[in-house]
Structure 1
């Protein structure tokens, strides 16, 4: 990252107001529309540094184009340090002291659920950027919470399409032991069993998030002698798992299906140790040349002298979704904004998407492909874009999953 990027010190010391309005708008007397953004910046910097950079880029673009009917948008950032209790406390401060019009953000699923509960209890709109747990929009979904990113159910369904083609019948799973990991494993097992009757799950490993004992985990998986592995680890846990698994031969003659591993946030740190042939969801940023993605990629590179990560897409599109919402309704009153979010459509970095009215889940998709080594680092090959609307359950099924639907 260059000196223009926001560094760790700036995140810790400057997690306050980031007005970022264009100079001509800052001089105007129009009252800014304030967004309260809460995220685990110091706990998950690999994803959230690019996320925040792209958030800033999107906000600058919206304000340079005149803002929302002449009103600039302004973001007040807060760092929850990966703690749900801190996220809820900060949400209260943003709503009561900073007088924000809505809340946004969230990375870890347990924090996303805590913020969703806060939004519901306090009747405040919460646009969840990243938390992947399905409970956010289904079993614990509420009127005030909407989610942008493709969920664990959606991405698991995308991967099951490919996993069902493999000859493997004996499967093992490894996932971080919290809401996201548990949800991903649950859906992968259920959907694969439905798609390919006769598969058997012979081992499960649920290491603590950020504290994986990779050697012991690999040893336990190998002892079960699976033919294939479903991996849900990410970040440093993924790096340790890959290194130990490669050293101990876990991946030899075994297929691996892996959630998120194709995202550059997690693939790049592996360098030439990146595994080959894994079936993954991810983001082949340098290979996507579409009318919606190319301008974003080039604007991001120009602004930050760096390439985008998947976090960049999520941060950018969260701002653009909020801007589309504010242009749709002239009011920043919560109930009016919530009504406008239901069924909201906008053109994302990946193309047109919609926030479904029935469950508040967006139809953003994901890229599915396989990992390869290219120029000494991991990349995605043979990828395709899986449109999120094709991997969501029907309205009738959602009504059984979300009681208030």
Structure 2
């Protein structure tokens, strides 16, 4: 068992009234404050070995957030503790871990999920077992819409939201002939579907002349680039990430795919994906991402400085997602009188919290359980031998979601 966050707590809470003395005195003590030395246990399930570029900095920031909260006294005097599980990128392993965490480890809730298919599997598990699931990253819209349920909430802005942010910029381009490339699973399919639908609505004269859906983690970049070039598009929408993105960019550079063509790319501005490219990073791509060194506000600066002091490197976007997930869970726990699931679910609906971007409150909408967390949109440039973002802006997630009534209508009845 990997347990983090519950050590060195004895003695810290000696002045807190125990349940027995409180009852003897006729005092009412909320259940969450009882057994004050017992940690509140969170089960965290993620693809740590399958997606290390995102999830190593994610776990680092999760640990930092838990340590910070516990150093401040925990939640009503109880420390947070995390039991980590690695699903290795396999939905069946994620569900097995979830069962073990709930039944054997007695966690109060589960969190995590990087890949969309794993997020959906855990969302179904949460619904069937009536346990709270706070999804940190899994981007598929189905998680909160077509397969949404009472027990599942999602922090990160979804494929719909990021596609809408990018379409806003793509619609300004003169290009009419578009090609798309995306990993062949739920996240990639969803991103392409929304991008095509929203861009066509904004510019009815656009055409999509080629589609490539390589298997996640197994892209044949040379063949993919050749097929896209053969269609002679004027612009490309790219959804690949990680090692697939690195291979795609390198083959595209070698074969001239990006010359005189606009590229709009989801996630490519995130440091975990730009940094491995070094000076081969593309220039001029329209992207969502995280200009970590350029954001300058007190909230973000404090987070960036604390992360750098602990880990001797700058945070990644995964770091932000993890830290905000812990902040949101802590904000919910401070509101509830007990760790009973239905109480936690009610506290999550409409929950507001301040994230580390420093852009004001985010909210988990009661209608669909989607957070209004935003993202940064800009263009890629190479500076000092590495890729980064320029001309960026913060896109508030609230502005890129359908109305709550529309979202509610997309969810299953009940």
Same fold (TM over 0.5): yes
**Shift in Å, 1:22:** 5.0
Match of 2:5 in 1: 19
- Report the Cα distance in structure 2 between the residues aligned to 1:372 and 1:383, rounded to whole angstroms: 11
Tell whether the 8 Å contact from 1:40 to 1:106 is kept in structure 2 after alignment.
yes
Cα deviation digits, residues 382-404 of structure 1 (max 9, x gap): 00000000000012321332133
Match of 1:88 in 2: 95
Task: Give TM-score, length-normalised by structure 1.
Answer: 0.95
**Shift in Å, 1:55:** 0.3
- Give yes or no for the alignment of 1:170 onto 2:156: no
- Report the Cα distance in structure 1 between the residues aligned to 2:3 and 2:301, rounded to whole angstroms: 30
**Shift in Å, 1:166:** 0.2
Task: Give TM-score, length-normalised by structure 2.
Answer: 0.93
**Shift in Å, 1:27:** 7.7
Match of 2:286 among 279, 289, 300: 279
- Report the Cα distance in structure 2 between the residues aligned to 1:24 and 1:173, rounded to whole angstroms: 56
Tell whether the 8 Å contact from 1:39 to 1:105 is kept in structure 2 after alignment.
yes
**Does 347-356 or 117-126 show the bigger shift?**
347-356
Match of 2:377 in 1: 368
Superposition CA RMSD, Å: 1.2
- Correspondence 1:280-295 to 2 at 5 A: 280-295=287-302
Per the alignment, in what secondary structure is the counterpart of residue 168 of structure 2?
A: helix
- Report the Cα distance in structure 1 between the residues aligned to 2:171 and 2:115, rounded to whole angstroms: 29
- Give yes or no for the alignment of 1:32 onto 2:39: yes
Match of 2:193 among 170, 175, 186: 186
Per the alignment, in what secondary structure is the counterpart of residue 270 of structure 1?
A: helix
**Shift in Å, 1:25:** 6.3
Match of 1:260 in 2: 267
Tell whether the 8 Å contact from 2:10 to 2:37 is kept in structure 1 after alignment.
no
- Report the Cα distance in structure 2 between the residues aligned to 1:303 and 1:277, rounded to whole angstroms: 33
Structure 2 gaps, min length 5: 15-35
- Report the Cα distance in structure 2 between the residues aligned to 1:17 and 1:30, rounded to whole angstroms: 15
**Does 391-400 or 288-297 show the bigger shift?**
391-400
Per the alignment, in what secondary structure is the counterpart of residue 337 of structure 1?
A: helix
Match of 1:402 in 2: 411
**Shift in Å, 1:26:** 7.1
Match of 1:3 in 2: none
- Give yes or no for the alignment of 1:60 onto 2:67: yes
Tell whether the 8 Å contact from 1:20 to 1:56 is kept in structure 2 after alignment.
no
Per the alignment, in what secondary structure is the counterpart of residue 396 of structure 1?
A: helix
Tell whether the 8 Å contact from 1:272 to 1:377 is kept in structure 2 after alignment.
yes
**Shift in Å, 1:240:** 0.2
Structure 1 gaps, min length 5: 1-14
**Shift in Å, 1:330:** 1.9
Match of 2:112 in 1: 105
Per the alignment, in what secondary structure is the counterpart of residue 308 of structure 2?
A: helix
Match of 2:148 among 115, 127, 141: 141
Change (3 A) 1:164 1:387: same
Match of 1:359 in 2: 368
Tell whether the 8 Å contact from 1:238 to 1:266 is kept in structure 2 after alignment.
yes
Per the alignment, in what secondary structure is the counterpart of residue 212 of structure 1?
A: coil
Change (3 A) 1:26 1:87: farther
Match of 2:390 in 1: 381
- Report the Cα distance in structure 1 between the residues aligned to 2:181 and 2:320, rounded to whole angstroms: 27
Cα deviation digits, residues 340-373 of structure 1 (max 9, x gap): 0000001101231000000000000000000000
Per the alignment, in what secondary structure is the counterpart of residue 376 of structure 2?
A: strand
Match of 1:11 in 2: none
- Give yes or no for the alignment of 1:221 onto 2:207: no
Tell whether the 8 Å contact from 1:38 to 1:104 is kept in structure 2 after alignment.
yes
Q: Which has the greater radius of gyration?
A: 2
Tell whether the 8 Å contact from 2:9 to 2:79 is kept in structure 1 after alignment.
no
